[in-house]
Structure 1
Amino acid sequence: MNNSKTVSISRGEASSLIKLLIGNTSASQKLSNDELLAILTSLKVEARETKKVTRTFTKESLDVLVDYGSISNALEIRLEALRIIANALLLSPDLREQLDVVPIMAQQYKKGASTDEELVVGRIMFLSTMQPRTYEADVLKGLHEYILLHITRHSEGDLCGSSLPALTETCKLLFNVLCKFSDDSPSYEDVIRPLSTIIKRLPRTLNSVSRAVISCLLKLPCMLNVCFTDGATMEQLEMLFEVLDNAIRTQSLDTPGFDDSIVPLLLLLSNIFTSAHNEDVTEYFKTMIFPSEKERCRPLGASSSLASHLLQITTKPTFMKSREVIFQLMWDASDRDVRKFIYHIGFGYAIGYIVNHKIAVPDDVLRENMDKYPSDNINVVTGQRLDTEDQFSPLANMTDEEKEREAERLLVLFERIRANGVINVENPIRTAVESGRFQVLPD
């Protein structure tokens, strides 16, 4: 390397580095791979901060880097160039809008790419497809070939630590394509079985990889017909519920972003249920999402089962998205019958969904003896068996004054519900007080 080039690199002058790359394309004596690698490595530092990206890179300079990212160059050269492009696009929405490399990348890498190349190329195309664009049929066909090739390779290969980030980027790209180009793209039905194979082979945890795969399955409208045939449905369901159970048990419900992370899985399960025409499948769903009869020795939601955790989520104000999906699934699994719905989860949990969706409640729904259901010994509000209320009463550790305040709070709550026209029934708290189950304390 001559002295001028060495000086430019050591100073980290981004404009000088780019000029060296541009000049090399037309120079009679080309820079060696070692010299190019040194220039690109120095330039990559400039692509790690938003301010430097804005100051350093333009569409023209990225076009030059796209040339160096071509498969005609040595692997280490093109990888460095592609990493610079990926970082710049990540940090600059303006560059994402100006530069579209999908036609080039899809065409060059549709026949294959190393894991490192798949990671960075997938990320570049994912960032490029975030912008609203229109592609010709041959570009969409190349994208399809690229995605199918790599999804299939992962389904047949080792799902190890080094390959998972690349798989995640390819799935994110697929998700973008399904969201924005599905009407014009070739059918992606052929990626469903490889994706299904991948999700079964992944650890039963909800991480970035499994979330990406689940999101793709959720966006494939024909997925239920291909993936969840009668012969494979139960195995798939057990796996998905295990992922959900592990996610809820290993994460605090106060973890930021947890609501968004479990919504795709909940939606996928909900879609499976509504599309199922198999009694075994629907019954399995009910055993997983509704508390068992054994759990009724305490108020519903107090045990450690998955069903109880789902009920707890519905009470969290930070789980606005998840609780709506959970309630909808429980409502559908109750045959959209308000009596069954209240029996399955208790009026205390059900009332929010009932009010929000303006569901009519029969006048006698809060009576302790509801026809057709084994609830003659059930507290309709809490779902707990009446004969265990004294043993596991949540009031056991309260003072008399605290009990009185709690009774007053519930009394006011039910009066408000009646005033809103949701139900027209005698207030059960007032009835309990009048029957002697609550005692009014003297002044």
Structure 2
Amino acid sequence: MTDTLVRNAPVSADRYENRLLAILFLAFGFVFFDRQALAFLAPYMDDDFGLSNSQLGILSGVLALTWALAGMFAGSLSDRLGRRKPILVVAVLLFSVFSSASGLMTGFVGLLAARALMGTAEGAVLPMAQSLMVEASRESRRGLNMGLLQGSSAGLLGGIVAPILVVRLADAFGWRTAFFVTIIPGVIITVLIAKYVLEHAPRTGKAAAASGVPDAAPAPAPEKVPVMDVLRLRNVVVCMLIACCYLTWFVTLITFTPKYLTDEKDWGSGTMSAVMTCLGVAWVLWGFATPAISDRIGRKPALIGFTALAVLCPIAVVYVESPVALGALMILTYTGLGCFTLIMATIPAETVPRGALATALGVIMGVGELAGGFLGPLVAGWASDAWGLQAAMFIAAGGAAIVVALSFALRETAPAVLRRRGGGAIVKESV
């Protein structure tokens, strides 16, 4: 079907690149809209569930667990089959269905099951989306495109739209309705992917590779690379370690900040929503700015510098008492989501051969979600019940601080920087 679409409706490489970016921007953005909804709805669910900090951490953690396992499986399966589009279509449709199912649950166990199923579907989205995007991207826009897809999309829809829309729906119609409406955009995006996304980007055609002229012929099948060979690459190992710590920073911060603001600071739901929206603004801003800057100054210095700022974000949540000041500081210091793109997509894509790309992305994301997304909030929830919610914020800050140290072990991969240093061709690490 894909090959037929390519033959019957040829599209220039640049035009397809922009079209694909727009569709995948929406797809991954709504992944995070659904994922973030629970954190914003937790205060409303207390009457029905009475969620403790530990239970909130478990709900966040189980989604990360199934997300991780699904991401690793989907990435490996995709590289074995040489297909990504069918996996992406099914994943987007199912995560929308399972997110809506959360509104039907009447007990903690049922909600836990719905979140686990949602994570199973969502985990496949990022490896498929980023591997499609990297092949469709011009070298000069690779970091920017992948940052917009993974960082800015999640920030706009999960960080800005979600806290505003979800809180308003919960205030007006109840928290269950807020879950129910999530199925609508998912179905629409599924149709867009099925109709407009190609299995092989025009830029991967044989003639395009030889001459730079857009070509619709599919690229030759990439050579399959064993997973263990991928895991021997230094950048892949370092990115996995960084992902563990960075997911601890992110998931812990985003899970417990809404409750910290309402319970510890006694701020109303409107103030909490406004402050959380500032995280979304920063998410959008740094989601594309950080990778774009890294295209010019290098992946490694960008990761070190922007992560150093990210250490300050959870600390500000604890010590800044003014909502206005806290919102401003969050915009300045919530820089980590732009760094996520570098370690989960851009650096691996510039390190591994094409035949191992989805596998590498799935493994890095999966290991990070297992350690930081699953175990991180569990530990933070337990620590918060024992010592107060500020413990979660300090755990988040510690995760980012470790990332700064680990980043020094990375090998630079930005093509423009490597050319300035060596004046030669860019060569990926050998497996």
The interval holding the TM-score normalised by the smaller chain is under 0.3
Higher RCO (Cα < 8 Å, 6 or more apart) = 2
* CA radius of gyration, larger in: 1
Structure with bigger helix share is: 2
